[in-house]
């Protein structure tokens, strides 16, 4: 039986999602916990990889269960063997045609940025931080230049393995409240470091080092070396993965789950 799981995790203690020989990744932790319930080795496939320090409120994975277990075992049972920074939110049986990565038609991320003169303590590692005042209105104007289908080569990591740099960025909204700025992204897919690189460029806009026209020119240049540095991973969350309704999976996680520091 193929099972899909919704996962949330705090990425601070992990070396990213992808399995590594040292075993300190979210995938390694999840596969070890699943093996405890299945009594056999279990491999999982995720909707997308997240880097070290990046979080998820709604990662989606699938695995082929080697034994039959009630769905509660794949949630509460697995959670018993997971570290406190990782939790299974839900489990659903799916057809063998379902693939966590290839069946997805969209991914959503949110980046939380604290704009305050003093670095955070209680929310450290869960929000990005920039000390100087940022012009959020200018950032919104510039962000509009990036929405649509574009070649995002200027915002991809050098080690990005994607075959095609053209992605459809369907949403880039910026909301500010009490010094906390939230960037909401949705696209058919993302390049490696694409969100963090866009946030870094928009911070340059906010502090006055770049304007909307300059950002549009940077996008058109398709040259990463011309762009501002990659922003810190701390405030980045994978918040949802879109699938066809026929699979019957839960929708994007409630954004209220991400307000735990407010």
Nearest of 57, 71, 111, 74 to residue 241 by alpha carbon: 57
Nearest of 83, 44, 51 to residue 65 by alpha carbon: 44
243 marked as part of a ligand binding site:
no
- Look at strands 236-242 and 55-64 and give their pairing: parallel
Per annotation, catalytic residue among 51, 151, 211, 254: 51
- For residue 195, give the H/E element and its range: helix 194-206
Scanning the structure block, which residue is given the tokens 């070290």? 52
- Residue 95: count of CB within 10 angstroms of its CB: 10
Nearest of 8, 110, 91, 89 to residue 42 by alpha carbon: 91
Active site residue 51: yes
Structure tokens at 55: 């979080």
Nearest of 10, 139, 140 to residue 85 by alpha carbon: 10
Binding-site annotation, residues for substrate: 109
Catalytic annotation, residues = 51
Annotated binding site: 109
């Amino acid at each position: 039986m193929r099972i899909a799981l919704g996962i949330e995790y705090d990425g601070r203690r992990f070396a990213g999602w992808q399995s590594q020989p040292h075993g300190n990744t979210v995938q390694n932790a999840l596969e070890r916990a699943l093996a405890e319930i299945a009594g056999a080795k279990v491999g999982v496939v995720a909707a997308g990889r997240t880097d070290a320090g990046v979080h998820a409120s709604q990662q989606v994975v699938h695995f082929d269960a080697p034994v039959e277990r009630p769905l509660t075992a794949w949630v509460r049972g697995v959670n018993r063997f997971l570290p406190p920074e990782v939790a299974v939110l839900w489990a659903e049986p799916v057809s063998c045609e379902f693939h966590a990565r290839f069946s997805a038609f969209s991914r959503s991320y949110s980046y939380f940025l604290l704009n305050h003169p003093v670095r955070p303590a209680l929310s450290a590692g869960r929000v990005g931080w920039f000390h100087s005042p940022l012009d959020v209105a200018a950032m919104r104007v510039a962000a509009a230049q990036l929405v649509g289908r574009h070649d995002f080569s200027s915002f991809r990591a050098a080690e990005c393995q994607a075959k095609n740099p053209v992605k459809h960025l369907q949403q880039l909204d910026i909301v500010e409240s009490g010094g906390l700025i939230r960037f909401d992204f949705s696209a058919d897919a993302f390049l490696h470091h694409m969100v963090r690189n866009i946030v870094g460029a928009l911070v340059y806009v906010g502090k006055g080092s770049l304007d909307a026209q300059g950002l549009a020119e940077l996008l058109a240049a398709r040259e990463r070396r011309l762009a501002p540095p990659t922003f810190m991973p701390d405030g980045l969350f994978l918040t949802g993965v879109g699938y066809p309704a026929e699979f019957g999976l839960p929708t994007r996680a409630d954004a209220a789950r991400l307000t735990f520091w407010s």
